């Protein structure tokens, strides 16, 4: 893992002191709200419906046990004993007191964590494949490059006041688990025919009220040119992005209005100026950062194969969990474990302080002290020996964290929605809970197979509904909640934006509607290996429209 | 005219509060002073503006409520959730209230 150097420590410590002074001046009345608000946002502090909210950055979703324990401590001491893991691989605390937030930030700084750039019109937390450094299909670990981007973008003077927020994601595998095509910049790390490392660069993807799939503007960017090329893109955006209209200010609109070809020309022109400047990454620097991310020494543990077979035979629940939540590691004696934060009927992404500590303990004992947060709001133990899966599972069961549903219909992404969020129009969490309860039986989930439901409580789409195989968007209509359903979205290497299927559903009817959609799929799939998404792409929306609305489908 | 109350979030901890008849910011909507005519609403607005300027509260708003059997109920769901807390039980020991769901039924 990356460790702060002296500069990082001083930078974060100074920032805490600066914010402590700003909070003190706000509380004394010396600073007015209008002056203070942008300052608190730059430090991850929002005002939500019930209280302030503190969003803490988890760079590329990677955490140590020590850091996870600190998150548990913050949840307990400064909040109400829980936290909410988000689709940007961050964590949010829902109830901190403004007067205590500087103390919380000081404690976080002691374990190399902060809340800088988790809000505001700047470059946000860079996200990455949650299986980085462990996945069998990876060309290279994306995290060193995400860390380079983090260092470069932190308080970047030119890019601290962009037209709008800016999100970058990096993946190192053909199979995209980081949803790079719905990011402002998506980077696909790969090797060319000569074995050199570089990036395919995607620009202008995003969700929100105008969902767009990113355009590929470069097929192979040598790694040394990463910062100069990204600078060129953001410089073009900073210059030409629309500041006149908040809803048209993201780079996706600039790409759309300018045209991909012209925008690429502008980026290339800027890149030509920057290419051989100090932004060129020396190989030694890349290697120095990459060294922090060296994989742990994975000793052969071949005895795990026999043990695993025996455990699976003895305990069908364990076998189900392994089948669903353990993915092959590039080392054959190891696996990548998904810790579901989606208990049946629970709140997607929430974890209590005790659960965070349990995960920290397990990671320390069995998983080389490494934890990831996935953008699907689960936790990951990237390196677990097959020989240790049984004790890991037992410990997760004891903590209420062994739900065997990764990638299944109850593994739902949901934003906080109107239960917490000041921007929301409708609730997300109760909808997720009801769907989870309806489809919660293991047999039914297994029969349905891979199906990603994503729920947003407003058009800002924090719940990624546009790329849900089934997406739900909560709106307010005549003072009541209503849920629009989209079908066929996907956030992987074949990204697509879901299509609105018809008029929306009231809260009391939305789970029934999901059931109709699922039953329709089960009735028309060619065989159980045809996933919901594949079936939808084959047959299109019509069978689902007919099942939901009869002949009377109409736009919501 | 819809009945109105004055609500805000307390500066120091962000907790939702409502202005009561004694001029204090109370954590319960049910303690709120209800304005039933134009002059009373104007007084609420002036009080809110002053409290904001005095750095006691932020995000000050006058919101519509109705009184049913002696219980105040905001007309908008957003305000009902602000008043009652999250509509879901969250984490151990913090049961969410069920008022919203029963009100919506």
Domain A303-398, CATH among 3.40.50.1370, 3.40.47.10, 3.90.480.20, 3.40.50.720: 3.90.480.20
**Number of Cα atoms under 13 Å in the Cβ half of residue A142:** 33
pLDDT digits (tens, 9 = 90+) for A494-547: 999 999 999 999 999 999 999 999 999 999 999 999 999 999 999 999 999 999
Rounded to an integer, the average pLDDT of A132-140 is 96
Cβ distance B12 to A420 less than 8 Å, yes or no, reads no
How far A97 CA lies from chain B's nearest CA (Å)? Answer: 4
Using CB atoms, pick whichever of B9, B58, B86 lies closest to residue A420. Answer: B86
Rounded to an integer, the average pLDDT of A415-427 is 97
Cβ distance A97 to B14 less than 8 Å, yes or no, reads yes
3-state secondary structure of A143: helix
Cβ distance B77 to A33 less than 8 Å, yes or no, reads no
CATH class as words, domain A6-109: alpha beta
Please answer whether residues A46 and A56 qualify as being in contact, where contact means their C-beta atoms are separated by less than 8 angstroms. Answer: no
Q: What does the block give as tokens for A163?
A: 């037209």
Please answer whether residues A311 and A318 qualify as being in contact, where contact means their C-beta atoms are separated by less than 8 angstroms. Answer: yes
Q: What does the block give as tokens for A318?
A: 């364990």
pLDDT band for position B2 (cuts 50, 70, 90)? confident
Predicted local confidence at residue A350, as pLDDT:
96
Chain A residues whose CB is inside 8 A of the B88 CB are: 347, 419, 429-430, 433
Using CB atoms, pick whichever of B14, B58, B86 lies closest to residue A33. Answer: B58
Q: Is B97 on the interface with A (CB under 8 A)?
A: no
Domain A135-292, CATH among 3.30.420.40, 3.30.413.10, 3.40.50.720, 3.10.100.10: 3.30.413.10
Q: How far is CA A284 from the centre of its chain?
A: 30
Within A419-476, where are the H helices? 429-438, 442-448
Cβ distance A347 to B59 less than 8 Å, yes or no, reads no
Chain B residues whose CB is inside 8 A of the A430 CB are: 87-88, 101
Domains A6-109 and A303-398 share a fold: yes
The chain B residue lying nearest A101, using CA atoms, is B13
Residues in chain B: 105
Predicted local confidence at residue B96, as pLDDT:
40
Cβ distance A418 to B78 less than 8 Å, yes or no, reads yes
Residue B90 neighbours by CB under 8 Å, 6+ apart = A80, A82, A347, A350, B96
3-state secondary structure of A271: helix
Of all residues in chain A, the percent with pLDDT exceeding 70 is 99
pLDDT digits (tens, 9 = 90+) for A446-474: 999 999 999 999 999 999 999 999 999 99
**Which DSSP string do the residues of A164-175 spell out, in sequence order?**
S-B-EEEE-BSS
Q: Is B36 on the interface with A (CB under 8 A)?
A: no
Q: Where are the domains of chain A?
A: 6-109, 135-292, 303-398, 428-549
pLDDT band for position A551 (cuts 50, 70, 90)? low
For the cut 80, the answer to whether the pLDDT of residue A292 exceeds it is yes
Tell me which of B96 and B5 has the higher pLDDT: B5
Q: Is B93 on the interface with A (CB under 8 A)?
A: yes
Cβ distance A98 to B15 less than 8 Å, yes or no, reads no
pLDDT digits (tens, 9 = 90+) for A293-324: 999 999 999 999 999 999 999 999 999 999 99
Chain B residues whose CB is inside 8 A of the A47 CB are: 9, 14, 58-59
pLDDT band for position B92 (cuts 50, 70, 90)? low
- Binding-site residues on chain A for chain B (CB distance < 8 A): 26-27, 29, 32-33, 47-52, 80-82, 96-99, 347, 350, 352, 354, 418-420, 422, 424, 427, 429-430, 433, 476, 479-481, 507
Cβ distance A26 to B93 less than 8 Å, yes or no, reads no
Within A110-167, where are the H helices? 143-153
Q: Where are the domains of chain B?
A: 3-104
Rounded to an integer, the average pLDDT of A56-81 is 97
Which own/partner contact pairs does A269-278 have at CB distance under 8 Å and 24+ positions apart? A270/A231, A270/A232, A270/A235, A270/A236, A271/A225, A271/A228, A271/A229, A271/A232, A273/A232, A274/A228, A274/A229, A274/A231, A274/A232, A275/A225, A275/A228, A277/A228
Within A525-552, where are the H helices? 532-539, 542-549
Rounded to an integer, the average pLDDT of A263-280 is 97
Predicted local confidence at residue A1, as pLDDT:
85
Cβ distance B13 to A97 less than 8 Å, yes or no, reads yes
Predicted local confidence at residue B105, as pLDDT:
34
Rounded to an integer, the average pLDDT of A122-128 is 95
Rounded to an integer, the average pLDDT of A428-443 is 97
Q: How far is CA A441 from the centre of its chain?
A: 26
Predicted local confidence at residue B52, as pLDDT:
97
Mean per-residue pLDDT of chain B: 88
Using CB atoms, pick whichever of B16, B101, B104 lies closest to residue A49. Answer: B16
Which CATH architecture does the domain made up of A428-549 adopt?
2-Layer Sandwich (3.30)
How far B21 CA lies from chain A's nearest CA (Å)? Answer: 22
- CA distance from start to end of chain B: 25
For the cut 70, the answer to whether the pLDDT of residue A238 exceeds it is yes
């Amino acid at each position: 893992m990356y460790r702060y150097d002296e500069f990082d420590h001083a930078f974060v410590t100074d920032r805490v002191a600066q914010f402590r002074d700003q909070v003190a001046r706000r509380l004394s009345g010396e600073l007015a709200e209008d002056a203070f608000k942008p300052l608190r946002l730059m430090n991850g502090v929002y005002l939500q419906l019930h209280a302030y909210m503190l969003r803490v950055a988890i760079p590329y979703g990677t955490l140590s046990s020590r850091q996870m324990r600190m998150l548990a401590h913050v949840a307990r001491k400064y909040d109400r004993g829980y936290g909410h893991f988000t689709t940007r691989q961050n964590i949010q605390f829902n109830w901190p007191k403004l007067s205590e937030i500087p103390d919380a930030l000081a404690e976080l700084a002691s374990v190399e964590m902060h809340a800088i750039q988790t809000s505001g019109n700047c470059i946000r937390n860079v996200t990455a494949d949650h299986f980085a450094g462990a996945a069998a299909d990876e060309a290279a670990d994306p995290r060193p490059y995400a860390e380079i981007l983090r260092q470069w973008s932190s308080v970047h003077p030119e890019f601290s006041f962009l037209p709008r927020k800016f999100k970058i994601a990096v993946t190192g595998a053909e199979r995209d688990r980081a949803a790079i095509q719905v990011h402002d910049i998506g980077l696909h790390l790969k090797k060319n025919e000569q074995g050199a490392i570089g990036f395919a660069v995607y620009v202008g993807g995003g969700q929100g009220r105008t969902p767009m799939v990113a355009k590929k503007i470069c097929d192979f960017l040598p790694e040394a040119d990463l910062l100069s090329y990204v600078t060129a893109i953001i410089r073009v955006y900073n210059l030409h992005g629309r500041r006149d209209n908040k809803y048209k200010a993201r780079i996706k609109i600039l790409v759309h209005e300018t045209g991909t070809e012209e925008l690429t020309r502008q980026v290339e022109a800027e890149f030509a100026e920057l290419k051989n400047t100090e932004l060129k990454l020396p190989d030694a620097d890349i290697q120095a950062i990459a060294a922090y991310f060296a994989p742990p020494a994975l000793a052969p543990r071949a005895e795990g194969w026999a043990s695993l077979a025996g455990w699976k035979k003895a305990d069908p629940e364990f076998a189900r969990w392994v089948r669903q939540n353990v993915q092959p590691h590039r080392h054959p004696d190891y696996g990548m474990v998904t810790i579901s934060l989606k208990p049946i009927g629970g709140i997607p992404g929430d974890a209590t302080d005790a659960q965070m500590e349990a995960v920290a303990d397990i990671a320390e004992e069995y998983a080389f002290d490494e934890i990831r947060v996935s953008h699907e709001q689960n936790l990951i133990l990237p390196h677990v020996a097959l020989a240790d899966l049984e004790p890991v599972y037992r410990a997760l069961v004891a903590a209420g964290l062994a739900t065997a549903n990764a990638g299944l219909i109850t593994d739902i992404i949901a934003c906080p929605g109107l239960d917490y969020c000041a921007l929301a129009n409708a609730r997300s969490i109760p909808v997720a809970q009801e769907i989870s309860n309806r489809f919660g039986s293991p047999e039914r989930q297994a029969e349905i197979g891979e199906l990603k439901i994503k729920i947003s409580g407003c058009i800002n789409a924090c719940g990624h509904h546009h790329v849900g195989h089934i997406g739900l968007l909560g709106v307010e209509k005549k003072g009541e909640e209503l849920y629009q359903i989209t079908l066929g979205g996907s956030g992987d290497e074949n990204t697509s934006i879901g299509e609105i299927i018809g008029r929306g559903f009231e809260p009391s009817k939305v789970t029934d509607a999901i059931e109709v959609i699922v039953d329709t799929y089960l009735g028309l799939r060619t065989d159980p290996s045809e996933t919901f998404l594949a079936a939808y792409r084959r047959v299109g929306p019509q069978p689902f429209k007919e099942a939901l609305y009869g002949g009377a489908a109409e736009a919501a | 005219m819809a009945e109105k109350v004055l609500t805000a979030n307390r500066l120091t901890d962000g907790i939702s509060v409502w202005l009561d008849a004694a001029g204090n910011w109370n954590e319960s909507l049910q303690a709120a002073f209800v304005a039933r005519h134009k002059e009373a609403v104007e007084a609420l607005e002036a009080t809110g503006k002053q409290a904001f300027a005095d750095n006691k509260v932020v995000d000050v708003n006058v919101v519509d409520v109705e009184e049913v059997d002696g219980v105040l109920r905001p007309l908008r769901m957003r305000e009902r959730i602000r008043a009652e807390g999250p509509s879901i039980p969250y984490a151990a020991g913090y049961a969410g209230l069920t008022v919203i769901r029963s009100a919506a039924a």
